Amino acid sequence: MIPEDLRYTAEHEWVAAADGGAVRVGITHFAQDALGDIVYVQLTEAGAMVAAGESLGEIESTKSVSELYAPVAGTVSARNDALVDTPEVVNSDPYGAGWLVEITVSDPAAVDGLLSADAYRELTES
Protein backbone atom coordinates (compact mmCIF):
# COMPACT_ATOMS: atom_id res chain seq x y z
CA MET A 1 0.00 0.00 0.00
CA ILE A 2 2.27 2.75 -1.36
CA PRO A 3 0.34 5.41 -3.31
CA GLU A 4 2.18 6.34 -6.52
CA ASP A 5 1.30 10.06 -6.39
CA LEU A 6 3.09 10.78 -3.09
CA ARG A 7 6.73 11.38 -2.11
CA TYR A 8 8.32 9.58 0.84
CA THR A 9 11.15 9.80 3.36
CA ALA A 10 13.42 7.11 4.76
CA GLU A 11 11.76 7.88 8.12
CA HIS A 12 8.44 6.56 6.70
CA GLU A 13 6.61 9.82 6.18
CA TRP A 14 4.64 10.69 3.07
CA VAL A 15 4.29 14.09 1.42
CA ALA A 16 1.44 15.23 -0.84
CA ALA A 17 0.88 18.54 -2.61
CA ALA A 18 -1.75 20.68 -0.86
CA ASP A 19 -3.23 24.12 -1.58
CA GLY A 20 -1.22 27.33 -1.75
CA GLY A 21 2.31 25.91 -2.06
CA ALA A 22 1.90 23.71 0.99
CA VAL A 23 2.43 19.99 1.41
CA ARG A 24 0.47 17.62 3.62
CA VAL A 25 2.53 15.20 5.70
CA GLY A 26 1.63 11.91 7.34
CA ILE A 27 3.16 8.55 8.21
CA THR A 28 3.00 5.64 5.82
CA HIS A 29 0.98 2.47 6.10
CA PHE A 30 4.28 0.67 6.71
CA ALA A 31 5.04 2.96 9.69
CA GLN A 32 1.62 2.74 11.30
CA ASP A 33 1.68 -1.04 10.91
CA ALA A 34 5.10 -1.25 12.58
CA LEU A 35 3.99 1.04 15.43
CA GLY A 36 0.82 -0.89 16.22
CA ASP A 37 -2.20 0.72 17.87
CA ILE A 38 -1.63 4.48 18.01
CA VAL A 39 -2.88 6.00 21.25
CA TYR A 40 -1.46 9.55 21.27
CA VAL A 41 -0.24 12.15 18.77
CA GLN A 42 1.52 15.39 19.75
CA LEU A 43 2.17 17.88 16.93
CA THR A 44 4.08 21.15 16.50
CA GLU A 45 1.92 24.28 16.64
CA ALA A 46 0.77 25.96 13.43
CA GLY A 47 3.03 28.91 12.64
CA ALA A 48 6.21 27.16 13.74
CA MET A 49 9.19 27.27 11.38
CA VAL A 50 10.76 23.84 10.81
CA ALA A 51 13.93 22.66 9.11
CA ALA A 52 14.07 19.42 7.15
CA GLY A 53 14.83 16.63 9.60
CA GLU A 54 13.61 18.63 12.62
CA SER A 55 11.04 17.19 15.01
CA LEU A 56 7.37 17.82 14.24
CA GLY A 57 6.15 16.04 17.34
CA GLU A 58 5.67 12.53 18.64
CA ILE A 59 3.45 9.58 17.95
CA GLU A 60 2.84 7.04 20.70
CA SER A 61 1.57 3.52 20.26
CA THR A 62 1.03 0.61 22.59
CA LYS A 63 4.55 -0.52 21.57
CA SER A 64 6.67 2.65 21.58
CA VAL A 65 7.03 6.42 21.23
CA SER A 66 8.47 7.72 17.95
CA GLU A 67 9.58 11.15 16.79
CA LEU A 68 7.95 12.67 13.72
CA TYR A 69 10.31 14.56 11.42
CA ALA A 70 9.78 17.39 8.94
CA PRO A 71 10.47 16.06 5.45
CA VAL A 72 11.05 19.61 4.13
CA ALA A 73 11.82 23.06 5.54
CA GLY A 74 9.07 25.63 5.88
CA THR A 75 6.29 26.87 8.14
CA VAL A 76 3.68 24.59 9.71
CA SER A 77 0.50 26.05 8.24
CA ALA A 78 -1.97 23.55 9.73
CA ARG A 79 -2.07 20.55 11.98
CA ASN A 80 -4.65 17.81 12.28
CA ASP A 81 -6.13 18.62 15.68
CA ALA A 82 -8.73 15.86 15.26
CA LEU A 83 -5.96 13.40 16.15
CA VAL A 84 -5.98 14.65 19.75
CA ASP A 85 -9.30 12.87 20.34
CA THR A 86 -8.97 10.15 17.69
CA PRO A 87 -5.29 9.20 17.23
CA GLU A 88 -6.33 5.75 16.00
CA VAL A 89 -7.34 7.35 12.67
CA VAL A 90 -3.62 7.26 11.79
CA ASN A 91 -3.94 3.44 11.85
CA SER A 92 -7.20 3.21 9.92
CA ASP A 93 -6.57 5.94 7.31
CA PRO A 94 -2.87 6.94 7.23
CA TYR A 95 -3.08 8.53 3.75
CA GLY A 96 -6.38 10.34 4.34
CA ALA A 97 -7.95 11.52 7.59
CA GLY A 98 -4.81 10.44 9.48
CA TRP A 99 -2.63 13.22 8.02
CA LEU A 100 -0.48 15.06 10.57
CA VAL A 101 0.52 18.56 9.45
CA GLU A 102 0.65 20.85 6.45
CA ILE A 103 3.87 22.76 5.76
CA THR A 104 4.24 25.80 3.51
CA VAL A 105 7.49 24.81 1.86
CA SER A 106 10.48 27.20 1.77
CA ASP A 107 11.92 25.53 -1.34
CA PRO A 108 9.34 23.67 -3.46
CA ALA A 109 12.15 21.85 -5.30
CA ALA A 110 12.98 20.05 -2.03
CA VAL A 111 9.89 17.88 -2.49
CA ASP A 112 11.35 16.52 -5.74
CA GLY A 113 14.37 15.32 -3.76
CA LEU A 114 12.25 12.97 -1.64
CA LEU A 115 11.80 9.29 -2.46
CA SER A 116 9.47 8.21 -5.25
CA ALA A 117 6.96 5.43 -4.60
CA ASP A 118 9.30 2.95 -6.32
CA ALA A 119 12.30 4.04 -4.22
CA TYR A 120 10.24 3.84 -1.01
CA ARG A 121 8.98 0.38 -2.00
CA GLU A 122 12.61 -0.77 -2.43
CA LEU A 123 13.47 0.67 1.00
CA THR A 124 10.64 -1.17 2.76
CA GLU A 125 11.13 -4.45 0.94
CA SER A 126 14.86 -4.77 1.60
- C-alpha–C-alpha distance, residues 122 and 86, integer Å: 31
Distance CA 86, CA 68 (A): 18
Each residue of 14-72: pLDDT tens digit? 999 988 889 999 999 999 999 999 999 999 999 999 999 999 999 999 999 999 999 99
Model pTM? 0.94
Tens digits of residue pLDDT in 74-121: 999 999 999 999 999 999 999 999 999 999 999 989 999 999 999 999
Quick one: pLDDT band at residue 126, thresholds 50, 70, 90? confident
